Amino acid sequence: MKLFANLNLIVLALDHLITGLAGVFFPKRSAGLYRRLFGAQFPENSPLTSVLRPWGALGVFTGITGLLPVYDPNRYRPILYALVLLLALRIFIRLSYDAGTLVFFNLTAKRNYFHVYLVAQCAAIILLQLAYW
């Protein structure tokens, strides 16, 4: 169980680190990465890409912080609670997209629900980790 829980945290951290660093250092190019990973497409040369830099910095912070429980899950237990909260908010945000938002980002409902599933799965593994450690 610990190996599986740690693998979940490592994959979640790598996702945040890679997408975060891409957003900070290559915001316009990272829009293509986000399209492939998350299905959301930013309009060509959109000023929305300027949001990717601070969003990326938060992703880097989340990735680094999310690795701490791998080394000492008891000491960094509050980080696991914070990660569950973050993932719950991401699920809420994804589920609250209206039709106009999906059209604006050229995001299919199927792709959106797939990501809700992935995020919920990560949260469930962390909740199990909290319950059994």
Task: In whole angstroms, give the CA distance from residue 21 to residue 29.
Answer: 12
Task: Please state the pTM of the whole predicted model.
Answer: 0.89
What mean pLDDT is reported for the chain? Answer: 92
Confidence of residue 57 (pLDDT cuts 50, 70, 90): very high
Task: In whole angstroms, give the CA distance from residue 57 to residue 47.
Answer: 18
Task: In whole angstroms, give the CA distance from residue 72 to residue 65.
Answer: 12
Per residue in 65-104, pLDDT (tens digit) is: 999 999 999 999 999 999 999 999 999 999 999 999 899 8
First to last CA, the chain: 10
Max Cα-Cα span within the chain = 47
13 CB contacts (<8 Å, ≥6 apart)?
A: 62, 63, 64, 66, 67
Q: Which tokens is 13 given? A: 């951290």
Please give the C-alpha separations between residue 115 and each of 24, 44, 59, in angstroms, as whole numbers: 23, 23, 17
Q: Which tokens is 98 given? A: 């209206």
